Amino acid sequence: MPIKNQSCLFANLLAIYKIFSRIKIDKLSLQITSLSLFIFLLGCANENEQIYEKTTQKSFQDVLQDAEFAITENNFRITNRLHIGKAIKERGNTDFPQNEIILFCNLEIAEDMLKIEPRYINYCPYKITVTDSGGTITIGTRLLPSITDNPEMDNISKYINTILNSMVEYAASEDPFILDDN
């Protein structure tokens, strides 16, 4: 279990203990305690599975083009594009919105990351998703866990997450010079 999840769990259990240690536990209090514990633990469950998203009013095609530019500008190579929305439309659901996934990699960064933690192959390739929800375009990416029990991996994850965040920011932004600021 990563340290962040252990810390979260401990902090939440401590908070519950402090709240309920002062009151006499009856059936209702026990139910409230159980519900509170469940809610607090649920808050810890997916901290390492972070999704970073932005929305924009730019056209779907402009966002795709800007995402591809941001990917290549950061020295990553696009390895594939998944046209999920198009494929579902071709199966007969003509009202399905546009959805695309751009897969990309930087072998130098991947090598550094995998030397430290081979299991992080599961995060490769990186991806950016673009979804049209009624004219609002959402662009997102999955971030790597950055608080674990391995400080060296945490540093690489933070570095990669900064790059992924900047790609999403650029694709969602109207400012063509935003990459220069990162």
Is the pLDDT reported for residue 44 higher than 80?
Answer: no
Look-up of token digits 């991806």: 127
- What confidence score (pLDDT) does residue 88 get? 94
Task: Please state the domain extents for the chain.
Answer: 3-45, 51-181
Q: Indicate the average pLDDT of the chain.
A: 82
Residue 1 has pLDDT above 50, yes or no: no
**pLDDT tens sequence across 76-118:** 999 999 999 999 999 999 999 999 999 999 999 999 999 999 9
pTM value? 0.72
The two tokens of residue 95 are 């009202």
Q: Which of 1-10, 16-25, 158-167 has the lowest mean pLDDT?
A: 1-10
Confidence (pLDDT) at 163:
97
Question: CATH homologous superfamily of domain 51-181?
Answer: TT1751-like domain (3.30.310.70)
Number of H helices, E strands in the chain: 6, 5
Q: How confident is the model at residue 174 (pLDDT cuts 50, 70, 90)?
A: confident
Say if CB 100 and CB 64 are below 8 A apart: yes
